[in-house]
Structure 1
Amino acid sequence: MPRPREFDETVALEGAMNAFWAHGYEATSTQDLCDATGLGRSSVYNTFTSKHVLFQRALEHYTERGVRYRAKALEPAEDGLDAIRLLLTDLIDDELGNGRRGCLIVNTVAEFGTTDAEITTRVDADTAAFLTALADYARLGQADGSVTRDRDPADIAQFVHSTIGGLRLMSRRGALRPAMASVADIAVSAIARR
């Protein structure tokens, strides 16, 4: 009879996610994963089968966590444009308050490109879901009059998504809050209804 697991898998995934987020996939060693998850080497591999599978699960955990985090951050939004403003402001606060790690998805794209089909599929799914949410905020803003109607909501979503990626990279290179806030302000102004 197999022994029951004596650890919280979600806590282990959170630890692995943070290790990969800090070091990247290649630079994260098995020992780093053991330290981050609190598991022994055999438990890591018995539970997750490989570093690659653990990375995929950590990416999945990251995206689920991001959806919950964004929903909470946007609760006080007054309109569609304010939701996008809050998203950008919260992102800057998060970057400057959490060690300038960037975005695990952006970091993964930078490391893997499109060389790994399974990772690409996960990244594409997260990107598509985020673009859909951003387009929904743009539509909301167009309906309430806060966002320009001169652009397609999908195009606005791509623009905001690119701005987010750019802000994450600015943070990684050490940009200061005023520079990041200026980019966010310009982005919000660009999509505001005039």
Structure 2
Amino acid sequence: MGRPRNFDPDTVVERAMEAFWTHGYANTSPAQLAEATGVGKGSLYHAFGSKRALFDQALDRYDRLGAELAAEILSRPGSTRDCLATFLCGLVDSDLAQPVRRGCLAVNTAMELGGHDPEITRAVRAMQDRVIGALEARIDQGRRDGDVRAGADPRAAAEFLMNTIVGLRVMAKTYDASTLHRVIDTALTSL
């Protein structure tokens, strides 16, 4: 019989997510994961199987948190533009408030591993598709409510905004809030 775990797996995944988000997949060593999670390397790998398996769980957690945030903000009362501005500005402001400007874990992962790792490519695409779906639903609601122009294509607008989000998350590593908010204001004029 093995020893009982002396750690909460959800807390470990959360802390690992933070480490991967800050350093990237390849640049996060087993020693860094052990330090970040407070769990010895042997116990960490015994519980999660591998660095990649832990990363997959961290990415899943990031996806869940992002989907919950998008759903919560985009379902708020108010105009579609106001909800979208709150969502986009919140992402940017959160990026800028961090001690290390690390952008978005999904975008960083797409840049690091996408295109040559089919599983990661599919995972990041699914994450982006979920956000696109939430944006599309809100834009479609805005069209029905009359606060988005009647001729707007909700899917195309949502894809454009997803592209804007990805760009904002990269730009947040080097630009200031006023520039990023100006980009958001410009993007929302398309609605």
Return the TM-score normalized by structure 1.
0.92
Kindly state the Cα deviation for residue 45 of structure 1 after the two structures are TM-superposed: 0.6
* Identity rate, percent: 39
Q: Which moved more, 1:8-17 or 1:110-119?
A: 110-119
State the AA in 2 paired with 1:70.
A
Q: In the alignment, is the contact (CA less than 8 A) between 1:95 and 1:168 conserved in 2?
A: yes
- Alignment of 1:115 with 2:112, yes or no, is no
Kindly state the Cα deviation for residue 27 of structure 1 after the two structures are TM-superposed: 0.6
Kindly state the Cα deviation for residue 72 of structure 1 after the two structures are TM-superposed: 3.9
Q: In the alignment, is the contact (CA less than 8 A) between 2:67 and 2:130 conserved in 1?
A: no
State the AA in 2 paired with 1:60.
D
- Alignment of 1:181 with 2:181, yes or no, is yes
Q: What runs of 5+ residues in structure 2 fail to find an aligned partner?
A: none
The correspondence of residues 41-120 of structure 1 with structure 2, limited to 5 A, is: 41-74=41-74, 76-98=76-98, 99-120=100-121
In structure 1, distance between residues paired with 2:86 and 2:11:
29
Spell out structure 1 runs of 4+ moving beyond 3 A: 71-77
In structure 2, distance between residues paired with 1:188 and 1:11:
37
In structure 2, distance between residues paired with 1:82 and 1:13:
33
Kindly state the Cα deviation for residue 79 of structure 1 after the two structures are TM-superposed: 2.4
Query: How much is the aligned-residue C-alpha RMSD, in angstroms?
Result: 1.4
Q: In the alignment, is the contact (CA less than 8 A) between 2:106 and 2:124 conserved in 1?
A: yes
In structure 1, distance between residues paired with 2:32 and 2:150:
49
Q: Secondary structure at the match of 1:190?
A: coil
State the AA in 1 paired with 2:169.
R
Q: In the alignment, is the contact (CA less than 8 A) between 2:136 and 2:154 conserved in 1?
A: yes
Residue by residue, what CA displacement relative to the aligned partner does 1:172-191 show, whole Å, maximum 9, x if unpaired? 1x201111010000011111
State the AA in 1 paired with 2:116.
T
Instruction: Quickly say closer, same or farther: Cα 1:100–1:148, change in 2 above 3 A.
Output: farther
| 1:138 corresponding residue in structure 2 | 139
Residue by residue, what CA displacement relative to the aligned partner does 1:70-116 show, whole Å, maximum 9, x if unpaired? 34444644022221111111112111112321110000011012211
Q: In the alignment, is the contact (CA less than 8 A) between 1:81 and 1:137 conserved in 2?
A: no
Instruction: Quickly say closer, same or farther: Cα 1:96–1:88, change in 2 above 3 A.
Output: same
In structure 2, distance between residues paired with 1:65 and 1:132:
16
| 2:154 corresponding residue in structure 1 | 153
Q: What runs of 5+ residues in structure 1 fail to find an aligned partner?
A: none
Return the TM-score normalized by structure 2.
0.94
